[in-house]
Amino acid sequence: MTFEIGFQNPYPESTVKTLLEDSLLIPRKVRHYLRTTKHIWINGHNINWQTVVKPGDLIKLYFEDSVYPEKKILWGDSHKIDCLYEDEHLIVVNKPEGIKTHGNEPNEIALLNHVCAYTKQTCYVVHRLDMETSGAILFAKNPFILPILNRLLENKTIYREYWAVTERPFDSKTVVYKDKIGRHRHDRRKRIVDQKYGQNAITEVRLLKKGSHVSLINCRLKTGRTHQIRVHLAYHRHAIIGDPLYATEKASRLMLHAHRLSFIHPLSLEKIRVNAISDSFEKILATYF
């Protein structure tokens, strides 16, 4: 049995080698497999590595099961999925607060399991949202596109924007936090600012509304560290309201919502931009503004 990927070339004229390596960012191991097995076809013809591929050419790639072994995952409830965008390669859904992106145990049901039930196939996590955070989240629908999307994430060309309601008003309309983030020594659940041993982390903040004792801000991630927005804001005395780990002001949920996800689709060059709405976030927000 083989696994097949097909798409029309959206990139400028180039060799097969350049297309797979530079445009599609396909990992070296997969490129080597395609080259040695000659499992790449252009417009119905088996070609070599230096064949020129033109815009609009139909490209088909074939993989044996040994390249992408089937991954078994329990299906959840398809009715729990709010789909924001979907095609044959990827899906973006609106995650509610209070559910994990993926389970930590084989039999644990999380959002990933519901996505698999909705698509009726095994899907793969591209990036994560904390259990307490709601909003737009991206999944790959096949193992071929997963590393390509991961490369886009590493190259900072998948843009993620969040709304947050924070303690204390902001004085500045914009600010960029670059504090390094590391693990908490005594609490495995937490992260801390650790300028010496932490990982680089960049969060861009823009003030949207200022209340008497709170602020509504837009945060744009330039990196994707665990609890990054939560830790940066708490460190600068603007903890997110309702944060069970870092804030003092309580709420029925963490007031952090991933409201927008945007990127260029790597197999079509289509501009994908989705917005997510959370009723619970909006309801609490209305009590402050």
The reported pLDDT for the residue numbered 67 is 83
CA dihedral 13→15→17→23, nearest 10 degrees, is: -10
Query: 222-265 pLDDT, tens per residue?
Result: 888 999 999 999 999 999 999 999 998 899 999 999 999 999 99
| pLDDT at 186 (0 to 100) | 87
DSSP 194: -
Amino acid at 39: H
Q: How far apart are CA 242 and CA 253, in angstroms?
A: 5
Domain 2-67 of CATH type 3.30.1490: no
Catalytic residue among 22, 65, 82, 130: 130
187 a catalytic residue: no
pLDDT at 111: 98
How many helices (DSSP H) and strands (DSSP E) are in the chain?
6, 18
Q: What is the CATH number of domain 159-259?
A: 3.30.2350.10
Strand, coil or helix: what is 153? helix
- Domain-wise residue ranges, the chain: 2-67, 159-259
Of 38-42, 63-67, 122-126, 177-181, the least confident: 63-67
C-alpha to C-alpha distance for 15 and 10, rounded to whole angstroms: 13
Beta carbons of 269 and 86 less than 8 angstroms apart? no
Beta-bridge partner residues of 164: 217, 256
d(CA 114, CA 126) in angstroms, rounded, equals 15
- Work out the percent of the chain whose per-residue pLDDT is above 70: 99
Measured distance between the N- and C-terminal CA atoms of the chain, rounded to whole angstroms: 58
Whether residue 1 has pLDDT greater than 80 = no
